[in-house]
Amino acid sequence: MDTERAKQKYDRLSKDEAALLIIDHQSGLFQLVHDNSPVVFEQNVCALADIAKLFKLPVVVTTSKEDGPNGPLMPVLRERLPKTQIIRREGEINAWDNNEFVKAVKKTGRKQLIIAGITTDVCVAFAALSAIEAGYKVYVVTDASGSLCLSSTGPAIARMVMAGAQPMSWFAVASELLRDWRDDESGGFKKLMTEHVPNYRHLIDSHETKKQED
């Protein structure tokens, strides 16, 4: 099995084959994220939503028990995805146990699923494992997913990887979808980076200043 896994081909993300699944990024559950700082985590989630808009990816959003302490979808996501239907689960912990959610995923017609959510070890892992079992290629955005602690995150990622999932950062997702800087004719990728990576914004400012001086 290890030899077979080592020989697996490089399945690049494609903007024509991928869909984004946002699972339980809710205001209440946000308080449970302790493997990243609140500011950085929220920024990563925003970046992922902006990636979906930039590359026109289908998006499936689901929440769990909104009327309880889990709370509604995070405001920053409601702002960025105002027209996206929210599939509100009444009790299923694993989103894949919800028929409406599975139907929405199938309706995208995509076989590459980019998944992020709260928490990594439960809501993300359960859905990712189920999607893999259903024949999908799964890419887990680890820095836009959150857990109660780092000791929860590591085993969860390992469990998903063993099943065939590929862990990625939002920056890696964006870069793999773009593939070639020359394709950023609209400047959307550059805008994404300057808005979500302060160091990159300074890099661009430095470059633009040098161009003006030359």
Q: Domain residues of the chain, as ranges? A: 15-179, 181-214
Q: Each residue of 107-132: pLDDT tens digit?
A: 999 999 999 999 999 999 999 999 99
Residue/partner pairs of 39-44 with CB below 8 Å, 24 or more apart: 40/143, 41/143, 41/144, 41/146, 42/74, 42/76, 43/196, 44/141, 44/143, 44/144, 44/170, 44/196
Q: Which of 114, 122, 123, 160 does the annotation list as catalytic?
A: 123
What is the second-level CATH architecture of the domain 15-179?
Answer: 3-Layer(aba) Sandwich (3.40)
What residue type is assigned to position 2 of the chain?
D
123 belongs to the catalytic site: yes
Q: Each residue of 159-192: pLDDT tens digit?
A: 999 999 999 999 999 999 999 988 888 889 888 9
SS3 165: coil
Tokens representing 135 are 């024949």
Other CB atoms within a 10 A radius of the CB of residue 88 amount to: 17
Nearest 10 degrees: CA dihedral of 189, 167, 197, 202? Answer: -90
Q: Each residue of 50-84: pLDDT tens digit?
A: 999 999 999 999 999 999 999 999 999 999 999 99
pLDDT the model gives residue 181: 85
Alpha-carbon distance of 71 to 37, in angstroms, equals 20
pLDDT the model gives residue 1: 46
Residue 12 predicted with pLDDT over 70: yes
Mean pLDDT, rounded, of the chain: 91
pLDDT the model gives residue 214: 58
Whole-number Cα distances in Å, 187 to 172, 175, 204 = 18, 13, 12
Q: What percent of the chain has pLDDT over 90?
A: 79
Average pLDDT over residues 30-40: 95
Alpha-carbon distance of 3 to 28, in angstroms, equals 43
Least confident window among 43-47, 134-138, 194-198: 194-198
SS3 22: strand
Alpha-carbon distance of 142 to 15, in angstroms, equals 19
Whole-number Cα distances in Å, 74 to 121, 138, 205 = 19, 23, 31
